[in-house]
Structure 1
Amino acid sequence: MGGNVNRFFRDAIASGVLLSAISAVQATPIYMTANFSGGILTTDGLANSLGLQQTSTCSGCAAGSVSGNVLFDQTLIPGSGTGTVNIALAAVTGASNSTIFDIDFGSRPLGFEFGDGDVLGGPSIQFNNGVFNGFFFVKDFVVDGKTYEINMQGANWTMNWLKSNSSSQLVASGYLNVGNQGLTSQTYFDPSLPATELPNNTVPEPTVLALVMVGMLGIFMTRRHKQTYATA
């Protein structure tokens, strides 16, 4: 009777350790850096003065380019069936603002990064059913005395000249490359360690790490049971 009770308490303690280990793994951020790109579909009015041209007529040149990089917590990526979810980007110890979020448009270039002023929304990274779907980012900026607004909604973005409080004019619009291949050169971020790029843009699921710990604890518990029964 006493041996069975002791085994019960040992199993209960082991289960508690197991649950604590899984919770710790799930709560620990896994920071990743990645690059992204896009293009310019339409231009009008003041686009040339901002160094912007349509990608279709300026393929491979700076004026038709859209590119950037982002740092995000991989453990916050929602699963399939969750629809569209925006995850706010946040400061990370050891990471500069330009590492957390940076995007450039055209040949000037027009650059925006995490921590900029006059941000009306975001920056947030967006996922659709767990797959990269662009960003949510709205910001006013001034160039040559004129006020503009960049508005990113998922995979699409527009740039408008704010002529007055009630009037605006489209300057350019475009897209970001999204989907499973939308984030390229994915790399684990740890300021104390050299960067390690993942093969084929694959990111390990947080549950995989938890399952590794489950397996290790399972082996330990099995061995303890065998030893207990052998000596009983």
Structure 2
Amino acid sequence: MASLPQYSAVVPAAGIGKRMQAECPKQYLHIAGKTIIEHTLANLLAHEQIKQVVVVLNANDTLFAQLPIANHIDIKVVEGGQERSDSVLAGLNYLSEDKDWVLVHDAARPCLAQSDLTALLQLANQGNIGGILATPVRDTMKRSAECKTSQQSYVKHTEPRENLWHALTPQFFNCGTLRRALNETRHQNVSTTDEASAIEYLGEKVILVEGRASNIKITQPEDLLLAEFYLTQQQAK
């Protein structure tokens, strides 16, 4: 029986998470008995097709080394940069092999379902540039404008939600193509909020793979209870 293809994952974790109003970066907050980043990394490493995870840390990070998972044989640590794209590039440069495919996953998304990850990894066999996990937008979407006199926002118009998706992670691309896209957007001073937007800048098509809405990114204090609920449900299965 042929062995399944193996892939590396890059987890940028150099941010400080200002919106969490916490004393430490959000990835080090505890839920369901562990730090958020421990849940995230253990989730990736549990998949049979993940061979290693490159964690990209802030140069001043002293917390990660204290976690038990930091000693895992398949965890590698590199120093990140000021922006997310800088940290992802640092991870890609550590991997170096342009021909390989690589996942990029948020450190603060601990609730990734294994079946969603499996579905995303299938893109490597389909002859395309790569893709992302995403969920269709179900809420009514409003475009806002700001009133100059009151500085309050008001509804400019309602956006049709057809064909709108919430971008999630992991995002999965050929390593060399993603490195080229991130370097190009940096050179052109183009702002990117995820890896897919850099690939889009090259004019390439990014595949959408529908994933679970439970794959939330913890950015606000109220997200902690929801993430803990999802993790508890996953662990009970």
> Where on the TM-score scale, by shorter chain, does this alignment land: which range?
under 0.3
Q: Radius of gyration: which is bigger?
A: 1
More strand by share: 1
TM-score relative to the length of structure 2: 0.24
